[in-house]
Amino acid sequence: MISTEKLTLLLEKTQEIAKEAGAFIRRERQHFKMDKVEHKGFNDLVSYVDKQAEKIIVDRLSKVFPEAGFITEEGTNTTQAEEFNWVIDPLDGTTNFIHGVPIFCVSIALMEHDEVILGVVYEVNLHECFYAMKGGGAFCNDTRIKVSAAPTLASSLIATGFPYSDFDMIDKYLAVLKSIMQSSHGARRLGSAAADLCYVAAGRVEAFFEYNLNSYDVAAGALIVEEAGGKVTDFSNGRDFIFGRQIIATNEKIHEELFTHVKKSWG
């Protein structure tokens, strides 16, 4: 068990580290060239910027909390610990970054066993730092944030992500999307799950859903949503959304309604 005082200090240090990595990413974007892009798989892109940002984060966090292990997207450190592990996406929205679309984030979470206890998401271009610790509320740049009070799906704006490599479930996904588009203010695709989740937490959109995500895409943002008063589940309305590769995050008021639309088409 980690003390509240230590967790508060870790949260402050994690924000500093996320902003440091974000500043590096922002500088590199100014002269980034497409010939620096590598392919981890079909439409799964990475660059030296992702890798170097992750090294910065891992190095700093190792000094701040040496007893914790790591779950990282780029694999710069994959040594996991029994009790505490950092879950890191150094550049969530790599495709946006590569193409110069200004929505991408640094995402860092700390897990104690199977529970996220700290989350920081730094939106690089807007200089917005979203953060939360378990039981402490959610904030953006030192201002407390809360989810939207919209009572129905019909009065809601929904964020989602489009499949880009695994198309096995695309027909089910499109059926869900069609149903939601016909029942809400519309759907938005930002290209960064971390940003999507923080926008739910800040009340900018009422919900976000996506499948085929990884733990480092959602761990920090999911905690921020819950601490902002929202609800987060998987596609079965359960709690397996960190490692289960499916997530529905809402303002809580529309959760059951949105879940019904997902379940109807997804099964």
d(CA 91, CA 100): 13
Does residue 266 have a pLDDT over 90?
Answer: no
Report whether CATH 3.30.360.10 matches the domain 4-144: no
Does residue 37 have a pLDDT over 80?
Answer: no
Is residue 258 marked as binding? Answer: no
Q: What is the pLDDT of residue 78?
A: 85
pLDDT band at 45 (very low <50, low <70, confident <90, very high): low
Q: Under CATH, which architecture does the 153-266 domain have?
A: 3-Layer(aba) Sandwich (3.40)
For residue 45, what are its two tokens? 């892109």
Is residue 177 marked as binding? Answer: no
Is residue 89 marked as binding? Answer: yes
Mean pLDDT of 65-79: 92
Q: What is the pLDDT of residue 43?
A: 44
Is residue 91 marked as binding? Answer: yes
The ranges assigned to domains in the chain are: 4-144, 153-266
Rounded to 5°, angle at Cα 15 from 142 and 55: 165
Q: What is the DSSP track for the chain? A: ---HHHHHHHHHHHHHHHHHHHHHHHHHHTT--GGG-EEEETTEEE-HHHHHHHHHHHHHHHHH-TT-EEEESS-S-----SSEEEEEEEEETHHHHHHT-S--EEEEEEEETTEEEEEEEEETTTTEEEEEETTS-EEETTEE-------SGGG-EEEE---SS--TTHHHHHHHHHHHHTTSSEEE--S-HHHHHHHHHTTSSSEEEEES--HHHHHHHHHHHHHTT-EEE-TTSSS--SSSSEEEEE-STTHHHHHHHHHHHH-
Pick the more confident residue, 45 or 120.
120
Q: Are 4-144 and 153-266 in the same CATH fold?
A: no
This prediction has a pTM of: 0.94
Cβ–Cβ under 8 Å, residues 94 and 46:
yes
The 10s digit of each residue's pLDDT in 5-29 is 999 999 999 999 999 999 999 999 9
Q: What is the pLDDT of residue 31?
A: 86
Does residue 44 have a pLDDT over 80?
Answer: no
